[in-house]
Structure 1
Amino acid sequence: MPTLADLVSLIHEWYPPATAEDWDAVGLVLGDPEQSVKKVMFAVDPTPEVAEEAADWKADLLVVHHPLFLKPVHGFAATTPKGRTLATLARAGCALLTAHTNADQAVDGVSEAMAVALGLTDLEPLVPAAGEPIDKLTVYVPSDAAAPVRAALAEAGAGEIGDYDFASFSSTGEGRFRPLAGASPMIGTVGEIETVAEVRIEVVLARHHRRSVVQAMLSAHPYEEPAYDVVELADPGIVPTGTGRVGSLPEATLAEFARSVAAALPATEHGVRVAGDPERPVRRVAVCGGAGDFLLDRVAGSGVDVYVTSDLRHHPAAEFVEKGGPALVDVAHWAAEWTWLPVVARRLGEALGNDVETRVSTLCTDPWTMRI
């Protein structure tokens, strides 16, 4: 049976905490990393009612999207809703894990799950995330020393490209040098020009590996003074992660599309609000799970027909529509983000099989409970 540490590691692999916003609070909130986990429940909000549901189901882990404590606290007595949530989970032996903004941008994250739920295809980020800064190291090595130097580079983290490692390129040539007084050359004689058959080795590496890779190369290289260079590469901009998603669907009117959105998302009292001509053709759609009015300027120049998000405010929405930009579809914050829960539950089931049982809470925790 997997431990809590195993599940936290797996979920953090999919949704790395380092990608969360600086103000966010993500990761393990409650639980012993060594405890066994058999049952995992997923929910958007860590409310007292959700905690009761997890406890009644005898869940070992509750994974939520929204943090229980976003700001520092000095205590969490059960006299408060957040304290009751934590007390309920602690009594039941149920751990608590939060994946918030680290789950928003990721592949199979919140915005992508929402886009898929709405039937969008050919997805790409609305705002691509910055790629990992990449360097390229080139070093010249005597032919008989090329293999151990390549191995040292790879073991230090160079040559990792996507799902591959130990990647490198080699070409042969001649190296020339003259050892000067004070040198202790492995090859050649002081004062005489030497020509050596050498191999040019090129590898790419994540920039945070630069120091360790260079040190590994220098340690493995047989020369007293190796010839090498490190070049910082431009960001290729080809990353599947980022804020929001843009995708396509078969052409429909705005009214038809809005009805399909309502049918695809869990029902709430908020419902689906639309700003735009009901007969407007819709084919390209931008989405952002959660509050998305901070992206309105980006959406305006993206060439989409409609933008689907939550928590749109009166003045920004009115000004956006007045400028003749895409139509707007405003959905309940909870409903939009709920679409991620079945996705991460499925991923966990596929990764761990019968070792773990999963459950997606359908308890609506949207704060709007009545519409008159």
Structure 2
Amino acid sequence: MTPQVQDVVAALENAYPPNLAEPWDAVGLVCGDPQAAVQRVLFCVDPVETTVDAAIDFGAQLLVAHHPLLLRGVHGVPSDDPKGRLVHRLIRSGIALFCAHTNADSADPGVSDALAGAIGMTVTGPLVPHAEGARTGLGRIGVLPEPEPFGDFVRRVADSVPTTAWGVRGAGDPDRPISSVAVCGGSGDSHLSTATAAGVDAFVTADLRHHPAGDHLAQEDVPGRRAPALVDVAHWASEWPWCQQAADTVAATLPDTVEVLVSTRRTDPWTTHVFGATTDLGRTPA
């Protein structure tokens, strides 16, 4: 019996329960017939033109994305609007769209587990648990197989996520030993204080801003408190490992009936990284 879109949705919602989503989020089936037959499913971070192209090229009947297409309220999806155009393309191509966002962030396992796994960490629990003792929640805390200098750890992270123009940046003493680590796929600078309170050696996340990062590192001067070193990766790159996790979930639930594929099309918005001519300025002026 050929599986239907609703069968894949059921597998994904079992893994990433909708009730774990933040109240402001928009998750679930965006468009498509739940009873339509599905043989191929493509997984991606962003539902954008290039991943819709990839879904069409793959012959998929369902596109599973991490980021919502219609996060904020809309009053229409005309085809001359960028998001409306995607909805029209998907429907004309017979492709349903399903989004698992903050419910995938908080699920166990979820987005941050996939990032931790890519880095080579052993996860011990959530960074921000939903309740005391819960395994669900935002971010993850874990340990490395062996301690290593922060400079080597930054290289480890860079080698573990897809390459982007944004790259991977580290803030901290390159020689500092790193053993315990917190990770948060996606934007995580709102959890800087939580990572500090957790007592980890390093915090890996995306979209770190200048002032929050600087204020965080200034805690190095507070007696008895040492803020974790920071590793900043591209938002898309930090969440891309989840795509394989989600694909494996569907493949395991519907074995030999649904073909899954993870999109390798880079949808990070940054395309160019240039170092200027003045590169010899140190942190402390002469």
- Scaled by the length of structure 1, the TM-score of the pair is 0.70
- Give 2:175's aligned residue: 279
- Give 1:344's aligned residue: 246
- Give 2:236's aligned residue: 334
Tell me how far 1:266 sits from its aligned partner.
0.4
Tell me how far 1:300 sits from its aligned partner.
1.2
- Residue type matched to 2:113 in 1? E
Cα separation, 1, equivalents of 2:130 and 2:118: 22
- Give 2:126's aligned residue: 125
Cα separation, 2, equivalents of 1:104 and 1:112: 9
1:217-228 paired onto structure 2 within 5 Å: none
Contact 1:114 1:287 in 2 (8 A): yes
- Residue type matched to 2:23 in 1? D
SS in 2 for 1:288: strand
Contact 2:77 2:84 in 1 (8 A): yes
Cα separation, 2, equivalents of 1:368 and 1:360: 21
Cα separation, 2, equivalents of 1:301 and 1:3: 46
Tell me how far 1:75 sits from its aligned partner.
1.4
Contact 1:48 1:84 in 2 (8 A): no
SS in 1 for 2:165: coil
Cα separation, 2, equivalents of 1:123 and 1:76: 43
- Give 1:85's aligned residue: 86
The count of residues paired between Structure 1 and Structure 2 equals 266
State the identity %: 50
In the alignment, which of 209, 216, 230 is matched to residue 320 of structure 1?
A: 216
Tell me how far 1:73 sits from its aligned partner.
1.1
Tell me how far 1:108 sits from its aligned partner.
2.1
Aligned CA RMSD, in angstroms, stands at: 0.9
Alignment pair present for 1:299 and 2:195: yes
- Give 2:139's aligned residue: 244
SS in 2 for 1:343: helix
- Give 2:284's aligned residue: none
Report runs of 4+ in structure 1 exceeding 2 Å deviation. Answer: none
SS in 1 for 2:252: helix
SS in 1 for 2:198: coil
SS in 1 for 2:56: helix
Is the radius of gyration larger for structure 1 or structure 2? 1
Contact 2:150 2:178 in 1 (8 A): yes
Cα separation, 2, equivalents of 1:292 and 1:95: 30
- Give 1:368's aligned residue: 270
Segments of structure 2 that go 5 or more residues without pairing to the other structure are: 221-226, 275-286
Cα separation, 2, equivalents of 1:80 and 1:22: 26
- Listed one character per residue, the Cα deviations across residues 290-324 of structure 1 (whole Å, up to 9, x for unaligned) are 00011011111111000000001110100100111
Contact 1:52 1:88 in 2 (8 A): no
Contact 1:108 1:344 in 2 (8 A): no
- Give 2:205's aligned residue: 309
Tell me how far 1:127 sits from its aligned partner.
1.4
Segments of structure 1 that go 5 or more residues without pairing to the other structure are: 131-236
1:107-122 paired onto structure 2 within 5 Å: 107-122=108-123
Tell me how far 1:238 sits from its aligned partner.
2.6
Contact 2:180 2:202 in 1 (8 A): yes
- Scaled by the length of structure 2, the TM-score of the pair is 0.91
- Give 1:26's aligned residue: 27
SS in 1 for 2:256: helix
- Residue type matched to 1:71 in 2? R
In the alignment, which of 242, 255, 258 is matched to residue 356 of structure 1?
A: 258
- Listed one character per residue, the Cα deviations across residues 166-192 of structure 1 (whole Å, up to 9, x for unaligned) are xxxxxxxxxxxxxxxxxxxxxxxxxxx
Cα separation, 2, equivalents of 1:296 and 1:102: 21
Contact 2:123 2:140 in 1 (8 A): no
Tell me how far 1:239 sits from its aligned partner.
2.1
- Give 2:151's aligned residue: 255
Contact 1:48 1:88 in 2 (8 A): no
- Listed one character per residue, the Cα deviations across residues 180-229 of structure 1 (whole Å, up to 9, x for unaligned) are xxxxxxxxxxxxxxxxxxxxxxxxxxxxxxxxxxxxxxxxxxxxxxxxxx
- Residue type matched to 2:248 in 1? R
Cα separation, 2, equivalents of 1:80 and 1:335: 27
